A = this chain, B = another copy of it.
Amino acid sequence: MAATPNPQDNPLIRKLESIFTLTDDERQALSNLPMQVMILKGDQDIVREGDRPSRSCLLLEGFACTYKITGHGKRQIVSFNIPGDIPDLQSLHLKALDASVGTIEPCKVGFIPHDALRDLCNRNPRITAAFWRETLIDAAIFREWVTNVGRREAYNRMAHVLCEMLVRLRAVGLAEDHTCDLPITQVELGDALGISNIHVNRVLQQLRADGLIETKGTRLTIRDWEKLKQVGDFDPTYLHLEQEQAAA
């Protein structure tokens, strides 16, 4: 149980500062949030559907995902979580979790008690608004995913999600211009896009053959950003980024 030593190490504070200028009080309050930091292995649940947690988890390092399992045992990943995200912030106002959150690779997460978050919100209306806003952006991404899964074919669907990941990662400094580390397996991509892993494989091969992307291990490089955006029918508006980092 310890506060993060340097605010610059806290991706939540970095994220909020990219939206508006924090007052000293606000930065102080955020830095003082009690947070139990844990290192987790890959492929491990952080919280599970049905849980009634008394704390929320801030993803500090690594990739995670929010997912649901259907009655037929199929998994649907409903979002990828990246550093700075609080994937279960909703549990502050909704008792039982309706989805699980699991790591995709080894992760560093910080658990923050709901009491501390409520206290923070009560004292800092701008932070309340910012948290609320974050959950609204999550909802906007879900809307886009419903559309992506419901109305685009696998090839375009894949292009879309790759665009989204690159832009989101760029926004938190985890991607260079057109390349990033994307430690997501083809099975996981399938679970996110609602297609089989075999089809994921074929679609990725097509994207490579068409010169749109390149992969080396977990490294993804976009070879033709404009074309990929066009194929994926990708318009970053729904990500509601402040300074548009979606260009070139």
Cβ of A133 under 8 Å from chain B: yes
Tell me, in angstroms, the Cα distance from A135 to B138 when the chains sit together. 10
User: 1/0 per residue A205-248: CB within 8 Å of B?
Assistant: 00000000000000000000000000001000110100000000
Cβ of A136 under 8 Å from chain B: yes
Q: Which of A138-185 contact B (CB under 8 A)?
A: 138-140, 142-147, 149-152
Contact B70 A143 (CB under 8 A): no
Segment at the B interface, from A20-28, A33-41, A89-97, A109-117: A89-97
Cβ of A46 under 8 Å from chain B: no
User: A53: shortest Cβ distance to chain B, in Å?
Assistant: 14
Cβ of A12 under 8 Å from chain B: no
Contact B144 A68 (CB under 8 A): yes
Of the candidates B95, B122, B151, which one forms a contact with A75 in the assembled complex, judged by CB atoms under 8 Å apart?
B151
Of the candidates B70, B96, B147, which one forms a contact with A151 in the assembled complex, judged by CB atoms under 8 Å apart?
B70
A129 contacts across to B, CB distance below 8 A:
93
Contact B133 A93 (CB under 8 A): yes
**With A70-B233, A78-B143 given, is the CB distance from A93 to B136 under 8 Å?**
yes
A128 contacts across to B, CB distance below 8 A:
128
Tell me, in angstroms, the Cα distance from A78 to B144 when the chains sit together. 8
Tell me, in angstroms, the Cα distance from A74 to B133 when the chains sit together. 28
Residues of chain A touching chain B, judged by Cβ–Cβ distance below 8 Å, are: 50, 66, 68, 70-72, 74-76, 78, 90, 93-96, 98-99, 122, 125, 128-129, 132-133, 135-140, 142-147, 149-152, 193-194, 233, 237-238, 240
Could you pull out 24 A-B pairs where Cβ atoms are within 8 angstroms? A66-B143, A68-B144, A68-B147, A70-B151, A72-B151, A74-B151, A78-B142, A78-B143, A78-B147, A90-B136, A90-B140, A93-B129, A94-B133, A94-B136, A96-B240, A98-B143, A98-B238, A128-B128, A132-B132, A135-B135, A135-B136, A139-B142, A142-B143, A150-B194
